């Protein structure tokens, strides 16, 4: 059906970057914006913690195993909050979503965590309904840390479970057994009044249909508020990729098995009341996941910390370390393509939104693709809207990539004429 199955929105972003090259800009362009008044009010914050106390075998994220007490990094984050908070652009913004990612943001000691969160609150203006998320593992999430997090407005925690299978957890280098995880999630539910969200990886090495059924049933019984579910992505630099290269392990990726596991997981969870939020996330109706809506709409996102990436207006930036940041500027076409890609991440898409981002010719070409997807059972079109089927969700990022590719190539050709 497609030559490649893209598994995440990051894959689609890479496709766009290949078609329209990045244009580096100087820090001056970024600082000029930060010293001006903003045109819009809403913004998000992403704070990165590049440390873990245990490295997952599949992970190649910007992180390293912690080797000190993190006092220096705590102070660094606090100084960054003060630096950002003093900027006119930031002073004119209302923060509607905050996301602490990593690494493991709950790796800090309780007093360090309190210092970080109190300084964050001092330097930014938050909306009353601000969605405040912390990624975490279970083994370093204590009752004391949960109390501190709630004290400063954390309303959502995202727990990296990955699988409840004891065999799978060994493969992915996770802490605790299935039974211990279940009990700990129940304990967290009693201690924390906010949303509990989990990550699940399917199609890890030799995963069986019975194991994915167990994951779906266990998550449903625990009534977690949302589930992010990803087919295993083997990235260069991860332990799994190194073990595969050295032939210590083997992985026979089969597309039909990938789809079988994906569809079975959804079959069970959708029957238990979950609904799609986007291609790789389902919710019981309580979780709105405003942070990803910020990402998909390409609204302002202030990136704080080593390894954090963000955006202000049409400039994206990435903090390589404490001293070096890269800045790139999007062309008008590239920004529209990225926004189109964001729209296509949701289970239901309004064709008028596509039309608002495309030329007349590229929209005509996209409509031809949509009719083809409908004939293949990937989407259902009605009243200028379309909705992905379960098969369409499986192929969702490949559909996204094909549509934005069609848009970019069509509009580039139009400009040549």
Each domain of the chain, given as residue ranges in start order, spans: 1-19+332-417, 21-297
Phi/psi of residue 373, each to 5°? -60, -40
Q: Residue 137: what pLDDT?
A: 92
- In b/e form, how buried is each residue of 226-256, taking b as 16+ CB within 10 angstroms? bbbbbbbebeeebbbbebeeeeeeeeeeeee
Q: Residue 178: what pLDDT?
A: 96
pLDDT tens figures, 27-63: 999 999 999 999 999 999 999 999 987 555 444 444 4
pLDDT tens figures, 151-205: 999 999 999 999 999 999 998 888 899 999 999 999 999 999 999 999 999 999 9
Chain Cα centroid distance, residue 103: 14
CB 396 within 8 Å of CB 388: yes
Binned average pLDDT, 10 residues per bin, the chain of 417 residues:
91 96 94 97 96 60 59 97 98 98 94 98 97 95 97 97 95 91 97 97 95 98 97 78 76 92 98 97 95 90 97 96 95 96 97 97 98 98 97 98 98 90
Q: What's this model's pTM, rounded to 2 decimal places?
A: 0.93
Q: Which helix (H) or strand (E) holds 403?
A: helix 396-416
User: Do the bridges between strand 325-329 and strand 315-319 make them parallel or antiparallel, or are there none, so unpaired?
Assistant: antiparallel
Match domain 21-297 to its CATH number in 1.50.10.10, 1.10.10.10, 3.30.420.40, 3.80.30.20.
Answer: 3.80.30.20
HSE (side-chain half, CA atoms, 13 Å) at 17: 12
- Please, what is the Cα angle at 121 between 115 and 125, to 5 degrees? 165
Q: Residue 235: what pLDDT?
A: 72
Task: Give Cβ neighbours of residue 326 (< 8 Å, ≥ 6 apart).
Answer: 24, 317, 318, 320
From residue 371, how far is each of 177, 249, 348, 376 by CA, in Å?
47, 43, 15, 9
């Amino acid at each position: 059906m497609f030559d490649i199955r893209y598994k995440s929105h990051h894959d689609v972003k890479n496709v766009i970057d290949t078609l329209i090259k990045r244009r580096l800009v100087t820090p001056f362009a970024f600082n000029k914006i930060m010293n001006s008044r903003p045109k819009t009010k809403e913004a998000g914050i992403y704070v990165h913690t590049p440390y873990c106390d245990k490295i997952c075998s599949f992970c190649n994220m910007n992180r390293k195993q912690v080797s000190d007490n993190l006092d220096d990094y705590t102070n660094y984050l606090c100084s960054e909050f003060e630096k950002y908070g003093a900027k006119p652009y930031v002073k004119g913004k209302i923060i509607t979503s905050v996301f602490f990612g990593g690494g493991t943001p709950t790796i800090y000691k309780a007093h360090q965590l309190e210092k970080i969160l109190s300084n964050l609150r001092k330097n930014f203006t938050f909306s009353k309904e601000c969605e405040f998320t912390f990624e975490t593992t279970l083994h370093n999430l204590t009752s004391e840390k949960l109390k501190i997090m709630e004290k400063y407005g954390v309303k959502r925690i995202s727990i990296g479970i990955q699988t409840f299978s004891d065999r799978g957890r060994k493969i992915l280098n996770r802490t605790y057994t299935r039974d211990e995880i279940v009990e700990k999630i129940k304990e967290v539910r009693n201690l924390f009044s906010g949303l509990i969200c989990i990550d699940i990886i399917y199609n890890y090495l030799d995963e069986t249909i019975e194991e994915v059924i167990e994951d779906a049933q266990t998550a449903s019984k625990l009534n977690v508020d949302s589930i992010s579910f990803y087919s295993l992505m083997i990235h260069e630099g991860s332990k799994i990729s190194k073990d595969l290269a050295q032939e210590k392990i083997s992985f026979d990726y089969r597309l039909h098995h990938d789809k079988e596991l994906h569809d079975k997981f959804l079959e069970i969870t959708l029957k238990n009341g979950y609904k799609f939020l986007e291609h790789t996330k389902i919710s019981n109706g309580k979780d709105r996941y405003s942070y990803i809506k910020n990402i998909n709409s390409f609204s302002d996102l202030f990136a704080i910390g080593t390894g954090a990436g963000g955006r202000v207006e049409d400039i994206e930036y990435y903090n390589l370390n404490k001293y070096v940041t890269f800045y790139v500027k999007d062309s008008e076409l590239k920004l529209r393509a990225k926004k189109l890609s964001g729209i296509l991440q949701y289970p239901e898409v309004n064709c008028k939104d596509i039309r608002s981002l495309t030329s007349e010719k590229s929209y005509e070409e996209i409509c031809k693709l949509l009719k083809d997807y409908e004939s293949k059972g990937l989407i259902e079109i009605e009243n200028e809207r379309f909705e992905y089927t379960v098969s369409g969700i499986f192929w969702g990022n490949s559909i996204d990539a094909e549509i934005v590719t069609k848009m970019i190539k069509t509009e580039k050709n139009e400009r040549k004429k």
